C-alpha cells in the first residue's frame, strides 16, 4: 500500500512540474504574442475640421530654384573655412561674411549655383559683379 508521505511527495512533485510548465508556457506566450493593435484614426475626424480657422497650405517652389549638391567636394575647403570661422566667432555670421563670399564665389565658378550679382546676395558693399 502507498503511504501518506508518498502521496504528499507525488502531489508536491506534480505541482512543481505544473508550475514549471506554466512558467515556460507564459514565457513562450510573452515572446510570441501578437503586437498590440494600432488604432486607425477615423478620417471623419479630419474631414469634419473645415471652417474659417483651418489653414490651407500651398507648396511653392524655392525662389532661386533647386541647386546641385557638391558631391565631388569641389568647394569643400571654402565650406569648411566658413564653418570654422562661424565656430571661432561664436556663430556670428556678420564676422564671417568675407569667407561666405568666397564660398559663394566658388559655387558660382564651378556651376553649383547660378551666377548672381553680389548686391542680390547681400554683398552690396562689394563692387564686383559675378555675371
Per-residue pLDDT of the chain (131 residues; tens, 9 = 90+): 778 787 778 777 778 888 888 788 888 878 887 766 655 555 555 555 555 666 666 767 666 666 678 889 999 999 999 999 999 999 998 999 999 999 999 999 998 888 889 998 888 865 444 44
d(CA 69, CA 112): 7
Which position has the grid cell 547681400?
Answer: 122
Q: For position 52, what pLDDT does the model report?
A: 61
The sign of the CA dihedral 92, 97, 98, 102 is positive
What DSSP state is assigned to residue 96? G
pTM above 0.75, yes or no: no
Amino acid at each position: 500500500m502507498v503511504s501518506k508521505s508518498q502521496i504528499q511527495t507525488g502531489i508536491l512533485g506534480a505541482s512543481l512540474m505544473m508550475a514549471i510548465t506554466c512558467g515556460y508556457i507564459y514565457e513562450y506566450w510573452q515572446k510570441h504574442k501578437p503586437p498590440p493593435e494600432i488604432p486607425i484614426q477615423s478620417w471623419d475626424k479630419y474631414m469634419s475640421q473645415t471652417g474659417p480657422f483651418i489653414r490651407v497650405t500651398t507648396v511653392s517652389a524655392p525662389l532661386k530654384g533647386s541647386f546641385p549638391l557638391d558631391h565631388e567636394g569641389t568647394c569643400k575647403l571654402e565650406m569648411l573655412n566658413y564653418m570654422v570661422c562661424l565656430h571661432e566667432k561664436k556663430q556670428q555670421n556678420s564676422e564671417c561674411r568675407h569667407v561666405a563670399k568666397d564660398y559663394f564665389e566658388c559655387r558660382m565658378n564651378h556651376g553649383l549655383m547660378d551666377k548672381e550679382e553680389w548686391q542680390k546676395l547681400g554683398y552690396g558693399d562689394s563692387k564686383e559683379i559675378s555675371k
